[in-house]
Amino acid sequence: METLEKRISYRFNNRSYLMQALTHSSFANERNNGSKSNERMEFLGDSVLSLITSQFLFETYPDMPEGELSKFKASLVCTESLSGFASQICLGDYLFLGKGETLTGGAHRPSILEDAFESLIAAIYLDGGLEKAREFVLGFLRPALENHNINFKDYKTTLQEVIQQNPDQSINYVFVGSSGPDHDKVFEAEVRLNSNVIGRGKGKSKKSAEQAAAKEALKLMGLG
């Protein structure tokens, strides 16, 4: 734990937050002793990351329109980016994984690294507050911004821009299931216009499943 703390330049007051952030569900399920996985931490970390990234881009680009800010943000917090940030600190080396995940290379799987990175953000936030979490996140965002080329196609933002042309309509994303073993899970999402399904998609992470659903919706509209 001390080695990881040195890598992230943050020392925990309560290491139980760090332990939970590093505990994958496969490990917790195998132990079956009340150990908590990082799934709830991931949920919180995703929101904290979104706030920090949004404010950072808002302040860095005061003249950039909302649509471009959304696309830029999506490219910075996509699975590829977050798993890359996790790899920079060798986060996979510190994860508690089940036997199956360990044998199948879970420590290097992008979706697991993405979830662990978001969980680590949540752990720092719970232990040290928003400013400490911001320091941690910006340590990755600033260098990424300096070398960033936006090549990520943000179908969700494009679809949102299309739907916003009619103020009476709204869309939301619903996860309808997952399949496969823990080490190779595939998520399925639907995008709904009001209450009607207009696209379905699958992906190795929930974010990629949402993007795939939005892509299908755009294609069915003749815009893909």
Instruction: Give 40-64 pLDDT, tens digit per residue.
Output: 999 999 999 999 999 999 999 888 8
63 is catalytic: no
Q: Which residue of the set 101, 115, 118, 210 is catalytic? A: 118
Is the pLDDT assigned to residue 32 strictly greater than 80?
Answer: no
46 is catalytic: yes
Q: Is 104 within 8 Å of 115 (Cβ atoms)?
A: no
Is the pLDDT assigned to residue 86 strictly greater than 90?
Answer: yes
pTM above 0.75, yes or no: no
Is the pLDDT assigned to residue 82 strictly greater than 90?
Answer: yes
Is the pLDDT assigned to residue 152 strictly greater than 60?
Answer: no
CA distances from 209 to 68, 77, 79, 212 (A): 22, 15, 11, 5
Predicted pLDDT of residue 22: 97
Residue 208: pLDDT band (50, 70, 90) is confident
Beta bridge partners of 193: 171, 196
Q: Is 106 within 8 Å of 183 (Cβ atoms)?
A: yes
The angle that helices 66-76 and 155-163 make with each other, rounded to 10 degrees, is: 150
Mean pLDDT is highest, among 40-54, 94-108, 145-159, for: 40-54
Indicate the Cα dihedral angle 67, 68, 73, 76, nearest 10°.
150
The residue with greater pLDDT, 167 or 84, is: 84
Q: Is 42 within 8 Å of 115 (Cβ atoms)?
A: yes
- Say which range, 23-32, 73-82, 143-152, has the weakest mean pLDDT: 143-152
Predicted pLDDT of residue 154: 76
Predicted pLDDT of residue 224: 64
Structure tokens at 42: 């991931």
Burial class (CB in 10 A: 0-12, 13-18, 19+), 223: exposed
3-state SS string over the chain? Answer: CHHHHHHHCCCCCCHHHHHHHCECHHHHHHHCCCCCCCHHHHHHHHHHHHHHHHHHHHHHCCCCCHHHHHHHHHHHCCHHHHHHHHHHCCHHHHCECCHHHHHCCHHHCHHHHHHHHHHHHHHHHHHHCHHHHHHHHHHHHHHHHHCCCCCCCCHHHHHHHHHCCCCCCCEEEEEEEEECCHHHCEEEEEEEECCEEEEEEEECCHHHHHHHHHHHHHHHCCCC
Handedness of CA 134, 60, 144, 207 (dihedral sign): positive
Q: Is 106 within 8 Å of 112 (Cβ atoms)?
A: yes
